[in-house]
Amino acid sequence: METLNNDYKFAALGEQEAAVEVIRNAEAALAQLTGNPTVTLIAYEKSGATHSKE
């Protein structure tokens, strides 16, 4: 998949199960609302962004 802007990259959420679960729930809700069972949401983050656990 090609991103259209180099300022963003795919967000690495593999170890953040709560964030992944939010996305899964949103996908399910959108699939139900639209009648499209193949809705996929993609998380992006700004390139070079630092992560803080405050």
3-state secondary structure of 30: helix
5 lies in some domain: no
Range of 31's domain? 15-40
47 lies in some domain: no
31 lies in some domain: yes
How many domains, in total, are found in the chain?
1
| pLDDT reported for residue 12 | 86
19 lies in some domain: yes
Comparing C-alpha atoms, which of 53, 44, 46 is closest to residue 12?
44
9 lies in some domain: no
pLDDT tens digits for range 6-52: 788 888 887 889 999 999 999 999 999 999 999 999 988 888 756 55
1 lies in some domain: no
